[in-house]
């Protein structure tokens, strides 16, 4: 079995001396541990997800894998080539899509793409044929390809970044929060394209970092969950859901004023981790019967119609909460 990527016992620290005030300074510490003893591998033909909130170490990990940072400890190998020894070869094997993709903003989308293509030795003709196919798959409007990047929407710019990365047919693709800030339709376009690429190219690997649990559930073969620079757990999604034995998860939906229900549930001591998703709310309680009477009174008092209240299967968000003791929303505040 070939591995697209092997990360073994990798750690990375940063100086914290430039911070004016921090608890680390109070404790006489001048180092911040961004990544701590991280290990995982990605097989050929696999999408591997690294999940966690902003600031957990995902982007630092991506920068080390893309040769932009040097690990303090451990090793990283890409198709057998080791970072720190074979960087020139590795850079021709990988490409990266970042949450904040870098462009020449005054140049058009096409000019940015052709510039990147020339760096990889691609001809203008080959680039035109490939990029047309990729942008079609991403549902990028053809009449905007010759507009300056600064005149494109956030979603259109990100689609150009994705097209630019896949244009070079990399063997390892690093997707660092590729759909953050995109509208639901654009997210679906990007995810559909990624699935198509993996179906057609069996010898590549994709590393996806995200704090979007639904995206990970949709795309990844295996995942790891990071918190505070460490990997808490990793494996196949369904096995992780079973492993943490998440029970007593409920979902409620009303016809209106869902925030009143959210605020009410958040104040009940027997309920934990109340999460709102549009007009739905998920929560945990070991005894739903202790909640029903007061919930019924709230609904009647506010003339709310209960659409449903049901027990639901655990999600990746539930797995994260059980492992870390907090939701992604809480961790990002």
**Which residues are paired to 9 by β-bridges?**
none
Domains and CATH numbers, the chain: 247-313 (3.30.70.2470)
110 versus 52: which is more confidently predicted? 110
Q: How far apart are the first and last CA of the chain?
A: 42
- What mean pLDDT is predicted for residues 144-165? 92
Percent of all residues in the chain with a pLDDT value above 90, rounded to a whole number: 55
Secondary structure letter of residue 267 according to DSSP: T
For the chain, the residue count is 333
Query: To 10 degrees, the CA torsion angle through 66, 70, 72, 74?
Result: 50
pLDDT score at 331: 47
What's the DSSP call for residue 46?
A: -
Write the pLDDT tens digit of every residue in 53-83: 878 899 899 999 999 999 999 999 999 999 9
pTM above 0.85, yes or no: no
pLDDT value of residue 210: 85
pLDDT greater at residue 326 or residue 253: 253
Predicted pLDDT of residue 17: 53
Taking only the tens place, the pLDDT of each residue in 212-249 is: 888 999 999 999 999 899 999 999 988 888 776 666 88
For the segment 170-198, what is each residue's pLDDT rounded down to a tens digit? 999 999 988 887 888 889 999 999 999 99
pLDDT tens string 299-328: 999 999 999 999 988 778 878 877 776 665
């Amino acid at each position: 079995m070939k591995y697209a990527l092997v990360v073994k016992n990798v750690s990375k620290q940063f100086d914290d001396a430039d911070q004016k005030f921090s608890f680390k300074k109070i404790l006489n510490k001048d180092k911040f541990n961004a990544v701590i003893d991280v290990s995982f591998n990605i097989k050929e033909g696999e999408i591997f997800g690294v999940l966690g909130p902003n600031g957990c170490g995902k982007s630092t990990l991506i920068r080390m894998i893309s040769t932009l940072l040097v690990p303090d400890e451990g090793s990283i190998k890409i198709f057998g080539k080791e970072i720190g020894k074979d960087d020139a070869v590795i850079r021709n094997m990988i490409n990266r899509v970042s949450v904040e993709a870098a462009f020449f903003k005054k140049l058009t989308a096409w000019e940015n793409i052709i510039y990147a293509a020339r760096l990889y030795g691609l001809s203008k003709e080959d680039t035109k044929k490939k990029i047309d196919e990729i942008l079609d798959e991403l549902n990028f409007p053809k009449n905007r390809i010759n507009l300056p990047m600064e005149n494109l929407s956030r979603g259109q710019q990100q689609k150009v970044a994705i097209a630019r990365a896949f244009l070079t047919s990399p063997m390892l693709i690093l997707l660092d929060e590729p759909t953050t800030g995109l509208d639901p339709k654009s997210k679906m376009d990007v995810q559909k394209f990624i699935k198509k690429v993996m179906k057609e190219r069996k010898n590549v690997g994709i590393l996806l970092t995200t704090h979007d649990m639904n995206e990970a559930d949709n795309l990844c073969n295996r995942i790891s969950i990071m918190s505070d620079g460490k990997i808490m757990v990793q494996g196949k999604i369904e096995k992780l859901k079973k492993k943490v034995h998440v029970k007593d998860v409920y979902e409620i939906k009303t016809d209106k004023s869902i925030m009143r229900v959210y605020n009410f549930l958040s104040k009940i001591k027997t309920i934990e981790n109340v999460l709102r998703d549009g007009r739905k709310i998920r929560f945990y309680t070991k005894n739903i019967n202790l909640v029903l009477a007061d919930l019924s009174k709230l609904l009647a008092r506010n003339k709310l119609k209960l659409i449903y209240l049901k027990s639901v299967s655990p999600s990746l968000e539930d797995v994260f909460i059980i492992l870390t003791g907090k939701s992604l929303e809480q961790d990002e505040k």
